A and B are shown apart, each in its own frame.
Chain A
């Protein structure tokens, strides 16, 4: 059974940093691109970032470019999102997702349950 499980969310002050992790199982992790999507409270979905199978190609939403870094460790079947210079508007549930294919323009076919990040003083 395919599973992706996020961790690392919590309360952080503006300007602070947080690292999210996403543990994957039930599929060959190194064969699929992986993504992060977020959802602010009561709002719609916002795509955040995607990473290629080998980790050498990454893309970001303009709203997080230069502040967030996506990475992966295929030996540990784990996806990461390093978030720096956090702002109040980054407050959201962050979802990890397995992409349906290996390229960076595929839909997410399996989603985690999400981890809440709250940026507040």
Chain B
């Protein structure tokens, strides 16, 4: 099975900050990397698929990059509604594993 490791597991940031979350796969997954956002008590929401493609309706301050085993999610200017937990997921091969999550909190 492919293991997905996210870092950091949590971070504190202020509105307007640039935030970067990393995700590392235990083997190459090409560009089969997706990012989700989850707010407390809510279902996850797809933000980015195939490394860098923005899901419909997601603001352009969210960007994804990387290939192979190392990937990043960047929020260019953190907004109040962005405080949430973010998960990466590989869809290269089953089981389609998730990273452990990164909780973005208000500083």
Number of interface residues of B (CB under 8 A): 25
Task: Determine the distance from Cα of A108 to Cα of B97 in the docked complex, in whole angstroms.
Answer: 13
List the A residue with the shortest CB-CB distance to B100.
A44
Is the contact region of chain B dominated by helix, strand, or loop, or is it mixed? Answer: loop
- In the complex, B8 has a CB within 8 A of chain A: no
Determine how close the nearest CB of chain B comes to the CB of A59; give it in whole angstroms: 4
Tell me the residues in window 14-45 of chain B with beta carbons closer than 8 Å to chain A beta carbons: 32, 34, 36, 38, 42-45
Q: Is the CB of B43 within 8 A of A45?
A: no
Q: Is the CB of B101 within 8 A of A45?
A: yes
Q: In the complex, what residues of A have CB within 8 A of residue B42's CB?
A: 113
Tell me the residues in window 33-63 of chain A with beta carbons closer than 8 Å to chain B beta carbons: 35, 37, 44-47, 50, 59-62
When A and B form their complex, which 10 residue pairs have the shortest distance between CB atoms, in order from nearest? Answer: A111-B43, A59-B94, A107-B34, A45-B98, A107-B49, A44-B101, A47-B96, A105-B91, A61-B95, A109-B46
Q: In the complex, what residues of B have CB within 8 A of residue A45's CB?
A: 36, 38, 44, 87, 89, 98, 101
Binding site for B on A (CB under 8 A): 35, 37, 44-47, 50, 59-62, 95, 100, 104-109, 111-114
Known: A44-B101, A105-B96. A111 touches B91 (CB 8 A): no
- In the complex, B1 has a CB within 8 A of chain A: yes
Binding site for A on B (CB under 8 A): 1, 32, 34, 36, 38, 42-46, 49, 55, 87, 89, 91-101
Q: Is the CB of B43 within 8 A of A104?
A: no
Contact of B45 among A60, A106, A111 (CB under 8 A): A111
Task: Determine the distance from Cα of A106 to Cα of B55 in the docked complex, in whole angstroms.
Answer: 13
Q: Is the CB of A62 within 8 A of B95?
A: yes
Q: In the complex, what residues of B have CB within 8 A of residue A62's CB?
A: 1, 95
Task: Determine the distance from Cα of A1 to Cα of B96 in the docked complex, in whole angstroms.
Answer: 26
Q: Is the CB of B87 within 8 A of A107?
A: no
Determine how close the nearest CB of chain B comes to the CB of A112; give it in whole angstroms: 6
Task: Determine the distance from Cα of A109 to Cα of B48 in the docked complex, in whole angstroms.
Answer: 10
Task: Determine the distance from Cα of A5 to Cα of B94 in the docked complex, in whole angstroms.
Answer: 24
